[in-house]
Amino acid sequence: MDIVLDFDGTIVNSNRSKQQAIDSFCLSHFGQTFQSRSKLPPRLYNRYQQAEYCKQASLDTHEIRSLDRAVVSSYSPHILDPGFFSLCRFSRHYNVRLHLVSASEQNTLVSICSRIGIAHYFTTLTGTSNQFLKHCAFFRISSSFGVHPRRLLTIGDFIHDYTESEPYGFPFYGIYSHDLSLQLPNHRLYTNLLDLLPSLRRKLASP
């Protein structure tokens, strides 16, 4: 059995701090935030799309790098899920590989994981830069490590984590978020990774 985790909202409770960093950047550079211009949820758009919406033009190289630095600096170890290290101990004890697949850009994901000291806990780190490409990463992991899709478990807190998993045959475990509770009212959601561990142990013991 292998486990694939989402990053923001699953391993780290970073959605608020990351959005604040994006808002602060947009406000200081373009005089407005995405939420001040649009009624759409910011989480549906990555930081570059939000910034370009505020600028009403493409970002230049300097702006992209400045935005990346602002987002990376918003992360710190204290926002890690309280059950993350318990999950790491579980994975070592049962010889379960952990993988990280995020819609973040690859270089940014690696930088953040290195910054908060968790990169070495994962067998693979994958930034897809797109919520709708996660299933491709799941299939690559399944193929590379010879894991049947039903034994590749995915964990996330966003509806796209579910839609990129279950329809393709990867069992999905949901971490509670308001949006996910509305989208999946009949799906069991867990408070955090610590709350999820007993279910993972039962899954591990099943055929």
pLDDT digits (tens, 9 = 90+) for 11-50: 987 667 788 899 999 999 999 999 898 888 887 788 889 9
**Does the pLDDT at position 190 exceed 90?**
yes
Domains and CATH numbers, the chain: 2-13+78-205 (3.40.50.1000), 15-72 (no CATH)
CA–CA dist 96, 90 (Å, integer): 8
The residue written with tokens 């608020």 in the block is 16
Q: Could you report how far apart the first and last alpha carbons of the chain are, in Å? A: 11
Sign of the CA dihedral running 99, 102, 108, 113? negative
CA–CA dist 26, 28 (Å, integer): 6
Strands 152-156 and 124-127: unpaired
pLDDT digits (tens, 9 = 90+) for 110-158: 988 998 899 999 999 999 877 788 999 999 999 999 999 999 999 999 8
State the pLDDT confidence band at 62, using cuts at 50, 70 and 90. very high
The DSSP call for residue 125 is: E
Instruction: Tell me the pTM.
Output: 0.79
